[in-house]
Amino acid sequence: MSQVVVLGATGSIGSQALDVISHLGWSVDGLAANRPSRRLAELARRYPDTEIVVAAGDDAEARDFASRVDNPVAFGPDAVAEMASRPGRIVVNGIVGAAGLRATLAALHAGNRVALANKESLVAGGPLVMGALAEAGELIPVDSEHSALHQCLEGEDRGAVSRLVLTASGGPFRGRSRQELVSVSVEEALAHPTWRMGGRITVDSATLMNKGLEVIEARWLFDLPPERLSILVHPESVVHSMVEYVDGSTVAQLGTPDMRGPISFALTWPGPRLPLELPRLDLAERGELHFEEPDPERFPAYTLCYEALRAGGTAPAVLSGADEAAVEAFLEGRASFPDIAASVAHALERHEVRKVGSVEEAIEASEEGKRLAAEYLAARARPS
Ligand code: MG
């Protein structure tokens, strides 16, 4: 029986990971969340002996939370990294944002397996994470596309890969014109056609930024240059990604869209697959699957990710921070849908690329991206 800690336990990935872990009959050895929420208190009661870490919150909130649960509780970002670094644990990293990078590195340094669902670990800190991984630990992607690619590459010679194709649902605005995109609402952006996910990633799916971030992650996970990483829009989200080999053969992984599949694969690999009661794929019932090229005119966000990848160093971290701030502004009604990509483009333009030598430098670059996006949005809001 393996022991698992779940970081970002109250989020969408965290909840589904807990579901899979209970199927496996494994033990939950630690739960971490950003806020001392009601949901976290519920989880604490469901796992009464499990240690809980709350990353953020003031002293009063901390005292109040500790008084409401019987579990051992620790507070602060250092406690999250400490939980991830206890040897012999599998660490599910479902933290949203750059804070997830520190936890990934702590877990790898301790020789732990990281089931990675935190995008920023590889987007902001790709060189750092790959450096740590060369020394110790294991990194298994949880994202459906990277899990698919991992599955399609099993047993193959990496030298025989000609290109990776990441599929994208295209989001709820796939058919909208450029003009229509100016006035789309938050509610529409949050109504994702195929996947149920958190707020930031759902908006990122609508802009195609999410797919660009996944291209950056794939660059590190599979060690291929950007020109051999492609995006294909596939509205049904049934083909989760594909690998094209040098002999012209393409291997794809298919399934109904449900994150419990990739989570289970990341936890149990390379062991036998776990029986899961997920809806089975019925291709005859579906009848047709559709594919099209992404449109850089209406959805420029993904092209910025290729730019950031080519610029290297701190550019992807700046891009990720700028996107985080711009999506938050969009969700709060302070920015339009096209403002998101425009803010990120502005941040990349203004930023002077540096090398990423430490976690602090990666996080500082992400913070700079947030500031530059805010600067763009503020200038945009002023009447001319
Ligand atoms: Mg994905």
Cα 277 to ligand 1 centroid, rounded to whole Å: 21
Is the four-CA dihedral 369, 232, 200, 255 of positive or negative sign? negative
Ligand 1 centroid distance, CA of 70 (Å):
36
- What is the 8-class DSSP label of residue 250? E
Cα atoms in the 13 Å half-sphere on the side-chain side of 273: 8
- Please give the distance, rounded to the nearest whole angstrom, from the Cα atom of residue 195 to the centre of ligand 1: 9
Burial (CB < 10 A; 0-12, 13-18, 19+), residue 134, is exposed
Instruction: Using the mean position of ligand 1's atoms as its centre, give its distance from the Cα of residue 63 in Å.
Output: 37
pTM: 0.94
240 Cα: distance to centroid of ligand 1 (angstroms): 8
Quick one: pLDDT at residue 382? 66
**Rounded to whole angstroms, how far apart are CA atoms 81 and 107?**
7
* Predicted local distance difference test score (pLDDT) of residue 199: 82
Which helix (H) or strand (E) covers residue 220, if one does? Answer: helix 209-221
- 143 CA to centre of ligand 1 in angstroms: 5
Gap from CA of 203 to ligand 1 centroid (Å): 12
| CA dihedral of 44, 45, 51, 55, whole degrees rounded to 10 | 20
Distance 198 CA to ligand 1 centre (A): 12
Distance 34 CA to ligand 1 centre (A): 22
How much distance in Å is there from the Cα of 241 to the middle of ligand 1? 10
Residue 201 has what pLDDT? 86
Q: Which pLDDT score, from 0 to 100, does residue 146 have?
A: 98
Predicted pLDDT of residue 282: 95
Length of the chain: 384
Side chain identity, residue 327: V
- CA–centroid distance, 369 to ligand 1, in Å, is 22
Strands across the sheet containing 250-254: 229-233, 161-168, 239-245, 250-254
Return the pLDDT at 251.
Answer: 98
Strand spans (E) along the chain: 3-7, 27-33, 51-54, 73-75, 89-93, 113-116, 138-141, 161-168, 229-233, 239-245, 250-254
Q: What amino acid occupies position 219?
A: R
Report, as ranges of residue numbers, the positions in the chain whose pLDDT lies below 70. Answer: 196, 382-384
Q: How close is the Cα of 351 to the center of ligand 1, in Å? A: 27
- Position 301 scores a pLDDT of 98
pLDDT at 35: 93
Alpha carbon distance 48, 193 (integer Å): 37
* Cα 214 to middle of ligand 1, angstroms: 7
39: CA distance to ligand 1 center in Å? 25
What's the 145 CA to ligand 1 centre distance in angstroms? 5
CA of 255 to the centre of ligand 1 (A): 14
